[in-house]
Structure 1
């Protein structure tokens, strides 16, 4: 049995999918980005005259995406500490990995209790964001 989760405190999905879906004892989150839930803006993106992103702040976007993940977890009755696996997509691995990794260390200071993590460098995401997370949580009963 599976059930879809919608989180009003998180940004709307950019496609026809739920924020998360529960299956058995696990919670699977759809890709979550750093867009602001109220304005749909991306934190600290700098746009050029043509509307394209010319600069971004990976630390600000990482804090924002973590807040959005937390909002989805809470809407599902789960907690930050229940995360067991995180896949991270960065659009600028060379430029952003160190900054993102520093913020990760703030949220997960002890590697022994941190979720498993895979980080991938990719060419683009569906909106003008620099980071997206795909998460799996194992909520405690």
Structure 2
């Protein structure tokens, strides 16, 4: 069983869709801790914003793949830090993804998501929501997550 519990699929024989996530996850039946991760964006501790390049006119050029990869790495770092290395991104059982421009960025976000979560069997349950804006104009994706880690 994956570290984030057992996946549940209404029809396990169905062809997977374009996104990798199960319909639900059953948390592990062992002694564990639940970690609720706040909405996390791409901002790094050094103040940089991967996937947001400043232009001379004050606008930004965005790379959704770079931002999503950075978001998921930040969540991995948070879970590892909070659990003294006992957990990581693959302990996430539920996630909500907020995307500022669905038409432009949904496919690219999914592409990066699918690199981290290789199948529905190991991916967390997930919802994706279009957001009008995020707290900083350099942010185009944010993820809130819940992880379960064996202690």
Structure 2-normalised TM-score?
0.71
* Counterpart in the other structure of 1:62: 68
Retained in 2: the 8 A contact 1:82–1:140? no
Structure-2 separation of matches of 1:124 and 1:84:
25
The equivalences for 1:89-128 within 5 A come to: 89-127=98-136, 128=138
Structure-2 separation of matches of 1:36 and 1:138:
24
Which aligned runs of 4 or more in structure 1 are off by greater than 3 angstroms? none
Larger Cα-atom Rg: 2
| Structure 2 residue runs without a partner (length 5+) | 1-31
* Counterpart in the other structure of 1:29: 37
Equivalent residue pairs, number:
116
Structure 1-normalised TM-score?
0.76
* Alignment deviations for residues 83-121 of structure 1 (CA, whole Å, 9 cap, x no partner): 100100011111000001011111111101210010001
CA-CA distance at 1:35 after TM superposition: 0.9
RMSD, aligned CA: 1.5
Retained in 1: the 8 A contact 2:77–2:88? no
Retained in 1: the 8 A contact 2:91–2:149? yes
Higher relative contact order (CA 8 A, sep 6+): 2
2:149 match: secondary structure? coil
Structure-2 separation of matches of 1:46 and 1:79:
28
1:25 match: secondary structure? strand
